[in-house]
Amino acid sequence: MRYFNSNAVEELPSRYRANLINTITGYKSANLVGTVNRSGRANVAIFNSVVHLGSNPALLGFVLRPLTVRRDTYRNISENRSFTVNAVTQEIYEAAHQTAAKFEENESEFERTGLQPLFREGHMAPFVSESPIQLGCTYMNEYPIMENGCIFIVGRIDHIHVNESLLTEDLWAKLDEEQIVSIVGLDGYAAPKIKDRLAYARPDESAKSILHGAQKV
């Protein structure tokens, strides 16, 4: 195996270091975070750091890069506490990737990439119309990552819109049915395929597939 110690990692050219560190922890979720500014301009940007933080209450979080440059997503969430999280599919991954480009403040990534904003009654921030999983969230808190200046945003999931075709009887989302992609590093897009689903692990039972049988409540 090739070996890098922390000194060797530090000495790598920055692009290589970023590639190595961003890819070795595995596949990440691919989501578009939608927000809106004070004058109603819709904003959308791709994030690979969205994680769920527990289901009761239903919370999620994501990492925002340091505020050393203009960050529209952060400013908009600070202004009105509203955001959406929308899964990226194979159909829209190129447009989704383009949202990371540095557009002017008065430009909407929706207009520039062709993604469609969807405003829904009862939620301020726009959803991404093309996405099969659209979550309406409210900002709850933020935590500074002292070590590098990033910010961890915590949001409450208030609204869940999911394509019916994705859901099993026990509400497990079959992400591959709608070709939802995942991200490798900051530029790789993968199309994962569900291989199996296993019953709750118990010490004296061997792994049992439940792929074709929903878990009863």
Ligand X SMILES: Cc1cc2nc3c(=O)[nH]c(=O)nc-3n(C[C@H](O)[C@H](O)[C@H](O)COP(=O)(O)O)c2cc1C
- Residues of this chain that bind ligand X (CB under 6 A): 43, 45-49, 62-65, 71-73, 97, 100, 183, 186
Minimum CB–partner distance for residue 83 and ligand X (Å): 10
DSSP letter (8 states) at residue 175: G
Minimum CB–partner distance for residue 189 and ligand X (Å): 8
Q: Residues 72, 86: contact at Cβ < 8 Å? A: no
First to last CA, the chain: 46
Nearer to ligand X, 170 or 187 (CB): 187
Nearer to ligand X, 101 or 160 (CB): 101
Sign of CA dihedral 178, 183, 187, 190: negative
Helices (H), the chain: 6-11, 14-23, 72-80, 93-98, 109-113
Nearer to ligand X, 47 or 166 (CB): 47
Q: Which residues, 6 or more positions from 147, have their beta carbon under 8 angstroms from its beta carbon?
A: none
Q: Give buried/exposed letters for 89-100 (b at 16+ CB in 10 A, else e).
A: beebbebbbebe
Nearer to ligand X, 63 or 157 (CB): 63
Minimum CB–partner distance for residue 141 and ligand X (Å): 17
Minimum CB–partner distance for residue 151 and ligand X (Å): 8
Minimum CB–partner distance for residue 20 and ligand X (Å): 16
CA-closest candidate to residue 112, choices 124, 121, 103, 122: 103
Nearer to ligand X, 36 or 166 (CB): 36
